[in-house]
Amino acid sequence: MTSAEAQGGSPGGATRSGRHQDGKSMLQSWIDTASFQWAVNTVNGIKKDVDPRYSMRRFLEDAISKHALELEAEHHGGKPWPESGPLRRGVPGKRTRDTDE
């Protein structure tokens, strides 16, 4: 369970259009190839050795929940941050079509 769920909120952000579907939201980002492969290897290892139904979605949800709780504990007194709007896309400090206006 995420900290947002524990507080009665909803986990994750909205899709590009701001919509959620069946309690799920799209999460899409480019990540370092080594990190991606590490995640794939871990998911495949768990599927083979522990639970054949384990998925990348579950891995990501678990990882996000664990890290969010750690960050909240370290930087926000153990409380979840309030719900906020969507993240700006692009590299911080680099002009993109979304931020050029």
Q: What is the pLDDT of residues 42-67, one digit of tens each?
A: 999 999 999 999 999 999 999 999 99
DSSP-derived letter for residue 98 is T
Q: What is the pLDDT of residue 5?
A: 45
Alpha helices in 24-55 (DSSP H): 33-49
Q: What is the pLDDT of residue 6?
A: 43
User: Residues in the chain with pLDDT < 70?
Assistant: 1-19, 95-101
Q: What is the pLDDT of residue 80?
A: 96
Q: What is the pLDDT of residue 95?
A: 62
Q: What is the pLDDT of residue 86?
A: 86
Q: Report pTM.
A: 0.67
Per-residue buried b or exposed e for 38-64, using 16+ beta carbons within 10 Å of the residue's own CB = eeeeebeebeeeeeeebeeeeeebeee
Q: What is the pLDDT of residue 12?
A: 46
Residue in this structure with the two tokens 């050029």, named with its chain if needed: 100
